[in-house]
Chain A
Amino acid sequence: MDYQQKDAFRILYVHAPSAWMSMFTYVMMAVAAGIGLIWRIKLAHAAAAAAAPIGASFTFLALATGSIWGKPMWGTWWVWDARLTSELILLFLYLGYMALRSSFDDPQRADRASAVLAIVGVINVPIIHYSVEWWSTLHQPASVTKFDRPSIDIAMLIPLFIMIAGFQLYFGWALCRRLRGEILRRERNATWLKEVS
């Protein structure tokens, strides 16, 4: 099937890593929020807060590149099927999480309320993953994350993994940058900040 797509299949190398990272970031955010909620670790809440805008941007990318790919291949920018709709819900979850955080003046209350939202929303991640199997859809089924051998050619698989690794590293780096700002904001009255400055 892929040869029919000619060079349009190359969108895969930005679309699939974005989609993967949109889900990975959400799970990481929910785990961090859960750790913050259970063990009351401020840094975990800070990490979750820093991850949200990055995850939202990956989700936007997955939707946008998917749409750009969908137009020449499916003949439409958008269909309301399970995969696309659940990914759109993921974007709203990120935005809702960020909006909820900013609606509280007290950072501790913001942490707790948004953590609950993040944890409840994680149910959407397996729905996105299995949506292509549970419902009939235009979107192709999983070809890499399967228990048997991936159904994608090795010549396409290697560059795809390189791209995913690149996105993953980018996320780690962007998260650290965001986290620095987030920690500064939370700790602006702390004595240790005066000592290190």
Chain B
Amino acid sequence: MSLREFLHMSGYAGYVWTAYGLTALVLLANWWAARRIEAEQNVSARRRMTTDKENRT
């Protein structure tokens, strides 16, 4: 199979590559969302700790 045939997908290129692209996009979005949530919670937890310390002194 040549690269051209591979990309052409016997005429179903639009369907096949859209399905694979969408899958890649969703898997990446999941990773990105998890990272963002973790970072947000990290920041808010640290902020709480510093204000707690300030209140005690």
Contacts and interface: CB of A to CB of B under 8 A. Distances in A.
B38 A184 contact: yes
Contact of B30 (A54, A65, A182): A54
Interface string B19-40: 1101100110111011101101
A17 to B, nearest CB: 9
Q: How large is the interface on B (under 10, 10 to 19, 20 to 34, 35 or more residues)?
A: 20 to 34
A18 interface: yes
Interface string A51-78: 0011001001100110011011000000
A179 to B, nearest CB: 9
A181 B34 contact: yes
Contacts, number: 82
Interface of A: 6-8, 10-11, 14-15, 18, 53-54, 57, 60-61, 64-65, 68-69, 71-72, 170, 174, 177-178, 180-182, 184-185, 188-189, 193-194, 197
B26 A11 contact: no
Mostly, the A contact residues are: helix
Which one of B31, B34, B40, B46 has the greatest number of beta carbons of chain A within 10 Å? B34
Contact of B49 (A64, A177, A178, A197): A197
B11 to A, nearest CB: 7
20 contacts: A6-B11, A7-B10, A7-B12, A11-B16, A57-B29, A61-B22, A64-B19, A65-B22, A68-B22, A69-B15, A71-B15, A72-B12, A174-B34, A177-B38, A178-B37, A181-B37, A188-B44, A189-B48, A193-B45, A197-B45
